[in-house]
Structure formats: C-alpha cells, structure tokens
Chains A and B, each alone.
Chain A
Amino acid sequence: MAAPLPEPERLLEALVTQMQPATGPDAGLVGIYTGGAWVAERLHRALGVKVPLGLLAVTLHRDDFGRIGLHREARRSHLPFEVEGRDIVLVDDVLHTGRTIRAAINELWDFGRPRSVRLAVLADRGGRQLPIAPDFTGAFVEMDPGEELVLTNEGGRLRLAAVRRPA
C-alpha cells in the first residue's frame, strides 16, 4: 500500500511560498483546463496577482487527435492580457508525461511571444516522455505506473485521488 496522497491545500501553500519571491507584479498566471484552472485560480488569489487570470484549453494542439478525434469542448482559451513580451507562469494540477504542457506552450504561442514561460504544478508524479521540468512543485508523488493521479473539485474542495487506468 502506497503512502496516503497529500492534501492539496498543503501543496498550494508550498507553491505560494515558492512562487511569492519569484513572480513579478506583471507576470501572467495561466491555468490549463480543467484541474490547472482550479489551481491557478487559488494561486492567483493567494499571490494577489493584479494581471487577470488566463486560462488555456489545449485540445487543438493535442498530439493524440489522430487517435481519439475531436471531442466536444466547451472551454476555450482566454488570455485577458497581452502575451507578447510577458513573463508567464503556466499552472497545471498533475504533471505526468509532459504532453499537455507541450500542447499548452504551442497554444500559448498562438496568442503572442512571451518573454519567458515557467511551470507550476500541484503534484509531479514523474513518468515524463518529453524534456519538460516544473519550476515550482507542490510535491513529488510516487505512483504505480498503472494509476492516474487526478485532482477533483467538489464545491471548491480540492482532493487528489488515485484512479486505476482502464486497460
């Protein structure tokens, strides 16, 4: 039996501590749908960032489109600030293969050319398939390769759960 999963509230606190000194007043926080958006909203509030929160949908840049097709996606990228020349912090819930982050970076570039992009994740579960590393990490969580680490949100209460991947 693996160790119990960490409490997201604690991980958020850890992220805020790491990000506070490293994030300038003009930095743009950008959450990746869906879980990353929840985390980004919380960070945005806790850090008191003045630039409005950005949100990214990565469907159009996914690399598995040819296999799974296009599913209905009501969410759209919304970046209510100038991306060009800005320092951006991408926020996601769980970092795994790195493919979502690759897609998010591509999506971001469709809006302009940022000065820099850093990555904040609530949990890093390892298993990278791309040369991507987080700049801010809530915690490293050891997972069984057959399991997904997912973030759920029940009325604002965030929770991490391990879900067995369908065969």
Chain B
Amino acid sequence: MSPNLQIDSQGRLVHLLTTEGLPRELINHILDTAAQFVSVNEREVKKVPLLRGKSIFNVFFENSTRTRTTFEIAAKRLSADVINLNIGSSSTAKGETLLDTVWNLQAMDADMFVVRHAEAGAPHLIARHVKPGVHVVNAGDGRHAHPTQGLLDMYTIRHYKKDFDRLTVAIVGDVLHSRVARSQIHALKTLGVPEVRVVGPKTLLPKDIERLGVRVFHDVAQGLRDCDVVITLRLQNERMSGPLIPSAGEFNKTYGLTPEKLALARPDAIVMHPGPINRGVEIDSGVADGTHSVIMPQVTFGIAVRMAVMAILAGND
C-alpha cells in the first residue's frame, strides 16, 4: 500500500487514505484549515460555497451512521451535493465488484468518494482506479486506518495542549482491532510527540507495535502515570473472533478508565474516545462525562476537520 498514492508530484494532497507517511506540513495545513471551519460552524449561517456544484458520494460498504453523518454534515456545510450509499446492502449482494460500483458512480459525475470498507486497502484500490480530479477519502478500512478520526484527534490535542513536542500520550485498550489507534500513532509520531504509549493486555496489542515507535505497557497504573492525554478505545467485541479477554467486566476492572486510574495522569490531562463509547467497559460514566473529558468537542471538531480535508482535496484538482 503506497502511502504516496495520496500525494501528487507537487506534494499536494489528492486523496486522504492514511496518516502514515503524511508529511507534517500537510497535517498542519489540514489542522490550520480546520480552525477556519470551526469558526464557520459557530456562525448563524453554517455554510460556505466552496464545494458548490461538487458531488460527494458517501460509499459505505460497512455500516456506520455516526461517521457517515459527520461526513454528510461536513460536505453539506461546504455546499456540496451529498449522496449516501450503503452498498453493503445492495450492489455487492447482486455480485457487482467494488470497482464496478465505483466506475458506475464515477459515470454519474462523482467528484469525491468517501469510502468505508471492512477490508483494509479498499480505499487505496479505488484511489488507484478513479479518474484524475476525483478524490478518495478513507472513512475507515478494516483494521488499517481511519485518517480523519486520527486528524480530528490531533486537532483536539492541539486545541487543548497547544504544542505536541512535550506531550505524553497514552492509548488505552483494544489497540489490536483499532484502525483509529494506528492513525493516531502515525500522526502523533509525525507531529513530534516524544512519548506515545499503548496500554493494554497482550492479547489486545498487535505484535511488533513497538516498531511504530511507541512504548508498550501492560500495567495500566504505569501506563497512565503523568500522561497529558489519555485516549480510550472502544472494546470492539464485534471484531473479536476468539476469547481475547475473559469478559467485558473483567476488562473494565483492569483497563477501564475509572476516576481512580485517571488520577494517575497529570491533573490537567484530557480524556478522549473515538466513540461510540461502551460505558462501564473501557470508560466509566464518571470519566466520560467528567471535567477531563473532551469527547464531545472531538465530535464537534470532527466536522471542521472533515470540511478541511474535503475543501483541500477539492482545491487540488
């Protein structure tokens, strides 16, 4: 999977497929652009005409109402026409291949595809086969990547912590099944975070995760100590094929973020979660709704970051 598929010969972003290999300059460009859209979203009229006349297809081969909705709102606030397709339930059932589906939509004059797929690499495959001037945004592919989520998390961290270069960030829980964690780790490393930790049981951490430049902790108390940012991950029961943990209750006891465990982090630590949250599993309600939590701002910033990505891509025709 060539990460360079997303950048053209002039260094411009033409697709957003992964945060891996995404240059720092481009990440900052996206975050700075998003800041403009945060202010647009606070106005009386939350709409700008940048993508007027453009058609954006949300092509979801795997269901996700939340992510699809945030992309839809982002596109609409840019004045694009948005078409939502849940392909899982239609064409593929009739035997149409992924690329046939995309070519058909391209023939309907699509300008951008927002793609979610259960298979890692599906958005890359599409990006390799679309016409020049058509852009692809990965909205989550298998366990591989979820770059807009990773970027909105970077936006959130920058908003609360200003600089990345002195931070300790802990990612806690089911890293193994998490495309979000992978997208976060690549972005955090690129932005110069000196210490990125992954915290969880051996069974839920990918082998060789250290190679990404993270420190591995199985002991939650050590992992959380003096952290500036604590990112909790959804325990993805639906993705587990075998018994990787004894039970959700047992996981909560050991790795669930409780007020007591959070007290080990820095007093001004922020708590993040990509959602949807399992209350009482990876995070207690007292923490999710508490003063350290920035989970709702993440959702709000997510719209602005997705607007920024789409506006930058559309501007790079």
Contact = CB atoms under 8 A, between A and B. Distances in A.
Interface string B179-219: 00000000000000000000000000000000000000000
B315 A70 contact: yes
Interface stretch (B33-41, B228-236, B239-247, B257-265): B33-41
Given A59-B36, A72-B33, A111 B44 contact: yes
A112 B44 contact: yes
A61 interface: yes
Contacts of B32: 72-74
B48 A60 contact: yes
B49 interface: yes
A101 to B, nearest CB: 16
A60 B43 contact: no
Contacts of B29: 72
A61 B44 contact: no
Contact of A109 (B39, B40, B45): B45
A7 B35 CA distance: 37
A154 interface: no
Contacts of B43: 110-111
A60 B315 contact: no
Nearest to B51: A65
Nearest to A103: B49
A145 interface: no
A20 to B, nearest CB: 31
Interface string B48-79: 11100000000000000000000000000000
B45 A70 contact: no
Contact of A77 (B39, B47, B49, B312): B39
Interface in A50-71: 57, 59-61, 65-66, 68-70
A159 interface: no
A60 B50 contact: yes
B316 interface: yes
B119 interface: no
A12 to B, nearest CB: 30
B161 to A, nearest CB: 19
Interface string A102-122: 000010011110000000000
Contact of B39 (A61, A66, A72, A76): A76
A127 to B, nearest CB: 24
Contacts of B48: 60-61, 110
Given A74-B32, A111-B43, A61 B49 contact: yes
Contacts of A61: 48-49
Given A69-B12, A74-B32, 16 more contacts: A60-B36, A60-B40, A60-B50, A61-B48, A65-B50, A66-B317, A68-B315, A69-B316, A70-B315, A72-B33, A73-B32, A74-B35, A76-B36, A76-B39, A110-B43, A112-B44
Interface of A: 57, 59-61, 65-66, 68-70, 72-74, 76-77, 106, 109-112
14 contacts: A59-B36, A61-B49, A65-B50, A66-B315, A72-B29, A72-B33, A73-B32, A73-B36, A74-B32, A76-B36, A106-B49, A110-B44, A110-B48, A111-B43
Interface of B: 12, 29, 32-33, 35-36, 39-40, 43-45, 47-50, 311-312, 315-317
Counting from the closest, the 7 A-B pairs by CB-CB distance are A69-B315, A110-B45, A60-B48, A70-B315, A76-B39, A70-B311, A72-B32
